[in-house]
Structure 1
Amino acid sequence: MEESTPHVIVLLEAAVERCISFTGGSEADELILALDDVMLQYISLLQETLKSLRAVSGVDNIGDSKKDIGLEKKEGSQNARKVDMVSNEEEWSIVQGALQILTVADCLTSRSSVFEASLRATLARISTSLSLSVFGSSLDQNQSHVTIIDGNGEPSLGQRAALDVAVVRLVDAPEKARKLFNLLDQSKDPRFHALPHASQRVTAFADAVNELVYDVLISKVRQRLSDVSRLPIWSAVDEHSSFRLPTFSAYPQSYVTSVGEYLLTLPQQLEPLADGISNNDANNEDAQFFATEWMFKVAEGATALYMEQLRGIQYITDRGALQLSVDIEYLSNVLSALSMPVPPILTTFHTCLSTPRDQLKQLVKSDSGNQLDLSTANLVCKIRRVSLD
């Protein structure tokens, strides 16, 4: 996909050169339409390939809206089982493959932008080389005078033949001449798009690529967190014993350590692609920004998914609250290690879950929104069956 883009642009540049040589620029308006159409066809092929890559990467249904919530829950548990069957090596190969698609979008965006700028420059040259003086209110064979000049005010011998062809065509087609010079006037506007439809489609393709890459990068996180709100540990109670047993500190559960390890490993996966973007020292800063930007996107997405699951917990016992506070603390430490701020909502969950149940009401009442997110604090009270009345 990446190698095809320069090849297509070279073919289009050759087409422009042939058209200008053959017509002297009189067909510039038709040329622009043809180039736009060919670019649309090419980008459509890239988009079709991108759709197949979504299926290969296992995220072809991620972007679809799910009307049946029960179906979503069922699929979530199935996805969780599927991810256990995929090796880490295979997971990371899919991630690396998806990241390489970013270079395709970058290549298409930069190459098409340069090509469009070249087209604008070509139109500008035609405009300055082909000057039309119109006498009367309309242009026809009896009421027209055409002057062809170069930059020095005189026709150049090398341009004479091609421009003479343009003159012949335009004098015999006054309506076409008006259309052409209207285009040439518009091309002087900095906001002018020589390939208006293709430019929009390039942007749409880049957005689709970013969406695919994000869906792939967040896929494992989404699968690991899919059933967190319904884990049985939240409603578990301490077993009573006639013997005095020592209490042990809880350890973070596997779902959150799996997510944390994935996030901590992700920068290493982004590094090769960032190095590929950084061909020289001048681009080192851009490469670092690229890696950091995607790292933050995935970490923020993971945090949002986790908080969504926490909000879905219906009831939690003291034992469950202790366990969940440990899980949240672990993820918060991971975010800090990635130089990411811990969201106030997550901090509020941790504070309210780690506070003894009989002290929670006093904590919330005395805070008044200074340290806690009050709506989240009220939700935790509801989950822990603590009345604030």
Structure 2
Amino acid sequence: MPEHQNYHEKLGTLVTDRFGKSIQNQIQTLYQNVSSQGIRSSNESFSSSTIEVFVFELYSIYTDAFQNYSTYEQEQLTDALDAIQLDTNDTSSSIQLLVSSISNVFLLANESVDRCKQLTNGQTIISLLNVLQKFFTSYIGELKRVVNNIRERNTKILGNEDWELFQQTIRILEICGELILAYEQFESSLAQQLLQMINEWPNKSNKHKQHQDPFDVAIESFINKTSSSDKHDFVSITNALENATYSLFPDIPKLLSKFSDECHQFSFDAVFLPIHSLLNGFSKLPVWSSDNRGAIVADLPSFSLVPQENITKIGQYLLMLPQHFEPFNLHDNRQLGIAFKKGKLPYLEDKELYNDLTSCWLDSIALATMRLCIEQTLKIQTLSSTGLKQLIMDLQYLYSVLEDFGLKDVAGFRDVIELLNTAEETFEELARHKPARMATAIRTMRRL
């Protein structure tokens, strides 16, 4: 069996360390007696150089582990991550596995830090930071894979109204928040440990060495010569920790934010795609160009018309959203808040303007609905007089629903309705104050 495959057992063995400590205690006693008798170091039975030779021989079995520390630690963590089950064919079971994986992963990370401190007195910590960054990157990649699998399994459901799926996506968002909290706690703890390590490392001044246990000096020398220690980088990092924006793992916050974005997109799609399905093909409905209802119908006033069925379904669906967004009202749901802070909702430009998550979600869905409706409307090729009245009725209905939502940015929707509703002789004057693309499209469909 290759030596690196037995790495965990090698790190776990205490035989050499116990023997070394026993010898150290005996030498320390003898060294103190010799020093107390005022005998010069040149006459000491156990000189520092002799002790160093002994220590190098005693701990030589660790030379390979020290020199290839990052490689072995990477393999150790990779194997451990591979052993964690993250996915099944059942969505609920997969979500539960994701929940339990967070504590397992950070337990592995903490164990890795402990091994570094025990084996190399923390002097390979710079190499370990790179190892841990790769470890966390792999883990986040696995989480994304599982979430994508869940999405693919529910592709057919996404276009339909399914609030159970939405609840599952909320749970995924909570998992994302839990992961971010666990990572931030781990990084904060590790930063404190780094500061403690550098304070505990032996001072290299000759004055300090005179009062230091020669056995400890020899062990320190062995670690320095056999490991990939780089104290200059270590000191630079500990100094940089004073900067609040500094991260021990520069890539991870970005990956967590991107993961949160994808989780929010999944949850958003679970709510919005049913609306998208109802609006799909809205611009190609035959009612827009048809006058086959007859002259009597065409001459009826607009108030005699009612919104089309798909439009009323959208309105009713939107009005039901607040009750389904109740989980976002929970003030103690810290995980959802953290996930939202690190991620983003589609169509929501400035989330800092909002005081609660529910308002953010309602505006996100409402804005998406409004913009899709505008885009579909501007694709209409031609409007008959009846079609024009029906379109105005449909849009005014949705506009009133969006106003009930308290949607702040409805100017675009209002512009479309005004351009559709204005008389031919006042159109050009009004169009000067509206977006050019919008005015051109409506001028064309109205055949002005």
The residue type paired with residue 408 of structure 2 is P
**Counterpart residue number, 1:21:** 118
Deviation at 1:238, TM superposition (A): 5.3
**Counterpart residue number, 2:56:** none
Larger radius of gyration: 2
Is the contact between residue 332 and residue 342 of structure 1 (CA under 8 Å) also seen in structure 2? no
Which deviations, in whole Å up to 9, do the C-alpha atoms of 1:207-234 show, x marking residues without a partner? 2212222222221111111100001110
**Counterpart residue number, 1:168:** 221
Is there any run of 5+ residues in structure 1 with no aligned partner, and where?
Answer: 60-78, 135-144, 149-153
Is the contact between residue 126 and residue 233 of structure 2 (CA under 8 Å) also seen in structure 1? no
**Counterpart residue number, 1:215:** 269
Would the alpha carbon gap of residues 366 and 166 (structure 1) be closer, same or farther in structure 2, given more than 3 Å must change?
farther
Is the contact between residue 270 and residue 291 of structure 1 (CA under 8 Å) also seen in structure 2? yes
Give 1:24-43 correspondences, 5 Å limit: 24-43=121-140
**Counterpart residue number, 2:325:** 270
Give the secondary structure class of the aligned counterpart of 1:172: helix
Is the contact between residue 275 and residue 314 of structure 2 (CA under 8 Å) also seen in structure 1? yes
Identity of aligned residues (%): 21
The residue type paired with residue 367 of structure 1 is L
Is the contact between residue 328 and residue 357 of structure 2 (CA under 8 Å) also seen in structure 1? no
**Counterpart residue number, 1:317:** 384
2:434 pairs with 1:376: no
Give 1:149-228 correspondences, 5 Å limit: 167-173=220-226, 176-177=228-229, 179-189=230-240, 190=243, 191-228=245-282
Would the alpha carbon gap of residues 44 and 115 (structure 1) be closer, same or farther in structure 2, given more than 3 Å must change?
same
Is the contact between residue 26 and residue 169 of structure 1 (CA under 8 Å) also seen in structure 2? no
- Equivalent pairs counted in the alignment come to 332
Is the contact between residue 100 and residue 273 of structure 1 (CA under 8 Å) also seen in structure 2? no
Cα distance in structure 2, aligned partners of 1:264 and 1:232:
28
Indicate which of 46, 50, 65 corresponds to 2:147. Answer: 50
**Counterpart residue number, 1:385:** 447
Is there any run of 5+ residues in structure 2 with no aligned partner, and where?
Answer: 1-97, 342-353
Structure-1-length-normalised TM-score? 0.74
**Counterpart residue number, 2:367:** 300
Structure-2-length-normalised TM-score? 0.65
Deviation at 1:10, TM superposition (A): 2.7
Higher helix residue share: 2
2:176 pairs with 1:113: no
What is the CA RMSD across the aligned residues, in angstroms? 3.5
Would the alpha carbon gap of residues 214 and 277 (structure 1) be closer, same or farther in structure 2, given more than 3 Å must change?
farther
Which deviations, in whole Å up to 9, do the C-alpha atoms of 1:129-157 show, x marking residues without a partner? 225537xxxxxxxxxx5958xxxxx98x9
Is the contact between residue 235 and residue 315 of structure 1 (CA under 8 Å) also seen in structure 2? yes
Cα distance in structure 1, aligned partners of 2:296 and 2:201:
102
2:426 pairs with 1:366: no
Cα distance in structure 1, aligned partners of 2:429 and 2:236:
69
Give the secondary structure class of the aligned counterpart of 2:330: helix
Cα distance in structure 2, aligned partners of 1:146 and 1:166:
18
Deviation at 1:171, TM superposition (A): 4.0
**Counterpart residue number, 2:195:** 124
Give the secondary structure class of the aligned counterpart of 1:25: coil
Cα distance in structure 2, aligned partners of 1:243 and 1:208:
49
Is the contact between residue 368 and residue 374 of structure 1 (CA under 8 Å) also seen in structure 2? yes
